[in-house]
Amino acid sequence: MLKGKTAVVTGAAKGIGKGIALAFAEQGCNIVLNYRSSVAEETIQEIEAKGVKCLPVQGDVSDFAFAGDLMKQVKKELGSIDILVNNAGITRDMLLMRMKEEEFDSVIDTNLKGTFNMIRHASSIMLKQRSGVIINMASVVGVMGNAGQANYAASKAGIIGLTKSVAKELAQRGITCNAIAPGFVETDMTAVLTDEQKEKMMEVIPLRRYGQVEDIARAAVFFAENTYITGQVLNVDGGMVM
């Protein structure tokens, strides 16, 4: 069903983004692998080993012009943009009273504005195609809030509002837009937490295990395959939010 489609995944050099890129490659999608600092050659080879094309594109999603250039390049080289996964994200955790302006701005710029930038440029191509699937990476923190993450929570709550608005605007052209809200997933982003913080986290996960990138990747494939679903936020969190 997804064979031959083009999937653009941002921040896909590692972690959840890499897992999503591999899952779409497994389904026969050609992959546009956006990365910021570096991408391992073996990741590209892993994708190509699944018999699909992999187009690595380096750049910063918070740069509006870069997002436009990326979409033009994808259209030219692969012909269409069928699936866009806005996964790139950062944290700059700090208590509100000590949070620097730069810490707030950088998180909003990457997570929220980066998502807007990519949707803004991909949607003009999707509108002409009269089809497209947009999947945005939110977080349970965007739903619940979290002490020490006012910047991150605001960016993820913003992504949820953006998702629902885009879903309403683009539905009439057959384009869906949904969000995934992961709980605690074992990646470099969460590896910085102390053992004590991780144990505390486990106490609020009813399924009593940390999420894996494959858990999130399966949800992304689900949204790409189920094009009668739009404007939804799917918690993939072991039951943290219910």
| Residues classed as catalytic | 152
Beta-ladder partners of 9: 33, 85
Cα–Cα dist 115/18, whole Å: 17
Q: Does 90 bind ligand NAP (CB under 6 A)?
A: yes
Task: Give how far Cα 85 sits from Cα of 122, 147, 148, 219, 229, Å.
Answer: 11, 27, 27, 12, 16
Q: Which one among 7, 8, 16, 157 touches ligand NAP, defined by CB under 6 A?
A: 16
* Binding mask of the shown chain, residues 136 to 175, with x at each position contacting ligand NAP by CB under 6 A: -x-x------------------------------------
Q: Which one among 25, 47, 54, 88 touches ligand NAP, defined by CB under 6 A?
A: 88
Q: Does 22 bind ligand NAP (CB under 6 A)?
A: no
In this structure, are residues 29 and 54 in contact, taking their beta carbons and an 8 Å threshold?
Answer: no
Backbone angles phi, psi at 169, to 5 degrees: -70, -35
Nearest residue (CB) to ligand NAP, 87 versus 178: 87
Nearest residue (CB) to ligand NAP, 126 versus 135: 135
CB of 218 to ligand NAP, least distance (A): 14
Q: What's the distance, CA 98 to chain centroid?
A: 28
Among 188, 216, 209, 186, smallest CA distance to 23 is for 216
Q: Which one among 60, 103, 105, 214 touches ligand NAP, defined by CB under 6 A?
A: 60
Q: Which one among 112, 153, 185, 220 touches ligand NAP, defined by CB under 6 A?
A: 185
Q: Count the alpha carbons within 13 Å of 81 in the hemisphere toward its beta carbon.
A: 29
Backbone angles phi, psi at 177, to 5 degrees: -145, 115
Please list every residue from 101 through 120 that binds ligand NAP, using CB under 6 A. 110, 114
Q: Which one among 11, 132, 158, 238 touches ligand NAP, defined by CB under 6 A?
A: 11
Cα–Cα dist 105/92, whole Å: 10
Q: Kindly list the residues in this chain that would bind ligand NAP in the complex (CB under 6 A).
A: 10-11, 13-17, 34-37, 60-62, 87-90, 110, 114, 137, 139, 182, 184-185, 187-190
